């Protein structure tokens, strides 16, 4: 058993139960966390991961590259080989469970490229070894893809103010358990 499968072997939910918890969390996230955090992937992924863990769902951070694929152009967020500037990390990170990827910072595509995307994307994870973590069809012509970071990329997500992260985790957990 590799490290990834060991990390998810302790999940307390079936895949359907896990999906239901993730859906409820996604619906509640930006009713608790201010929308101004919708482009802060490291922050939102930590809030999602912490909340899911408190709810009994095994979850972890997954650095990745987010692709918006559409004809005639593709757009990419994260790991583009740019130097960090103005405190901005050249990466992207999401929350993953055993079977689901949750990205609460898809809004970066709207901010950077004026693309119509949801605030939160939930996609089934590929269960076979691959450079691709997940795919989500937005419509007939547009697809989101999450790829592993390029080899050699600095994939360590920046630290976030854990006191603030934990306050949102507690509030979300309380709301979802009520």
Return the CATH number at 87. 3.10.550
User: For 69, phi and psi rounded to 5 degrees?
Assistant: -100, 120
Query: How many domains in the chain?
Result: 1
Domain membership flag for residue 89:
yes
User: At 147, is the pLDDT very low, low, confident or very high (cuts 50, 70, 90)?
Assistant: very high
Q: What's the pLDDT at 4?
A: 40
Q: Is residue 56 part of a domain?
A: yes
Domain holding 47, by residue range, is 3-150+164-177
Average pLDDT for 59-73: 96
Q: Judging by beta carbons within 10 Å of its beta carbon (0-12, 13-18, 19+), is residue 171 exposed, middle or buried?
A: middle
The burial class, CB within 10 Å (0-12 / 13-18 / 19+), for 159 is exposed
| The pLDDT of residue 8 | 41
Q: Report if residue 143 sits inside a domain.
A: yes
Rounded distance, CA 4 to CA 172, Å? 26
Q: Is the peptide bond before 12 cis (omega within 30 degrees of 0)?
A: no
- What value does the mean pLDDT of the chain take? 90
Task: Judge whether 170 lies within some domain.
Answer: yes
pTM: 0.90
In a domain, 156, yes or no: no
Residue 145 lies in a domain: yes
Average confidence (pLDDT) over 14-34: 94
- pLDDT (average), residues 21-47: 97
Residue 146 has pLDDT above 90, yes or no: yes
For 42-64, how does the pLDDT look when each residue is reduced to its tens digit (9 = 90+)? 999 999 999 999 999 999 999 99
Q: Is 50 exposed, middle or buried (0-12, 13-18, 19+ CB in 10 A)?
A: buried
Q: Copy the structure tokens of residue 111.
A: 């901010």
Helices (H), the chain: 3-8, 15-32, 41-54, 107-113, 162-177
- Per the CB < 8 A criterion, the answer to whether 29 and 102 are in contact is no
Banded pLDDT at 86 (limits 50, 70, 90)? low
In a domain, 104, yes or no: yes
CB-CB neighbours of 27 under 10 Å? 11
Evaluate whether residue 54 is within a structural domain.
yes
Taking each helix axis from N to C end, the angle separating 15-32 and 162-177, rounded to the nearest 10 degrees, works out to: 120
């Amino acid at each position: 058993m590799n490290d990834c499968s060991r990390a998810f072997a302790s999940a307390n939910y079936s895949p359907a139960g896990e999906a239901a918890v993730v859906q409820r969390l996604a619906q509640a996230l930006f009713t608790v966390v201010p929308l101004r955090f919708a482009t802060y992937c490291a922050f939102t992924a930590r809030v999602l991961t912490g909340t899911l863990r408190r709810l009994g769902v095994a979850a972890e951070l997954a650095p990745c590259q987010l692709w918006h694929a559409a004809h005639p152009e593709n757009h990419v967020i994260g790991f583009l080989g740019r130097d960090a500037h103005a405190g901005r990390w050249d990466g992207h990170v999401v929350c993953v469970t055993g079977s689901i990827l949750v990205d609460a910072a898809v809004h970066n595509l709207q901010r950077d490229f004026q693309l119509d995307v949801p605030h939160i994307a939930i996609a089934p994870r590929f269960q076979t070894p691959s450079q691709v973590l997940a795919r989500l069809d937005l419509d007939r012509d547009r697809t989101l893809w999450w790829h592993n970071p390029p080899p050699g990329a600095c994939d360590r997500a920046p630290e976030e103010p854990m006191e603030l992260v934990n306050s949102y985790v507690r509030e979300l957990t309380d709301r979802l358990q009520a």
